[in-house]
Amino acid sequence: MDRLTNNVRKYIIKAGVKLIFWGALLIVFCFGVFLKKTHAQVLNESCIATSLNVSTQVAPNGTFFFNAPLPDGKYRIRIVCQGENGLVFAQSDFLDGVSEGITEIGDIEFIPTPLIPESIVITAERSLLDFPNFVSQLAVTGTVSGGANSPP
C-alpha cells in the first residue's frame, strides 16, 4: 500500500510540476505578446502629429505642441509613427479646442491602417444653384481597394 501511495504521490508531483511549467510558459508568452504590442504603440520622436493642416514632431516623452489658431468646431489629432514593421496610425476622439489655452486631448487610440480611396464621387440633389443662399444636400462616396464603397 505504501508503494502505491508513493507512486501516486510521485505522479501527482510530476503532473503538478508540468502544470506549473506550462502555466508559466503561457504567462511568459502572453506577457511577451503584450510587451511587443505596446512597444510598437508608443508615441515618441518617430511620430508626427497632425491637426487642422498643421503638423509637428512628437517629443521623445510623447508630448507635442501646435502653435496655430483654433477655429470653432470639432477636430481630432491624427498621428503617424514609423514602427519596426512600417507605419503605425493613431487618432484622438473629436475635440473642442481651448482658444489661447491648453486643450486636453485624452486617450490616443491606435487604429488599423486607414484605407485610401481609389476614387471619390460627389453627387448633389441639384447641379445648379440658381439663387443666393440656395442649399443642396451633397453625398460623397469613396471606392477603396477591392471595390468596397464607404463614406470617406
Per residue in 119-148, pLDDT (tens digit) is 889 888 877 777 787 888 888 888 887 666
Extents of the domains making up the chain: 1-40, 47-111, 119-150
| Closest alpha carbon to 89 in 47, 61, 56 | 47
Per residue in 54-110, pLDDT (tens digit) is 999 999 998 888 887 777 788 899 999 998 888 899 999 998 887 777 788 888 888
Question: Which residue is associated with the grid cell 489655452?
Answer: 101
Phi and psi based region of residue 117 (left: phi greater than 0; alpha: psi -120 to 50; beta: remaining): beta
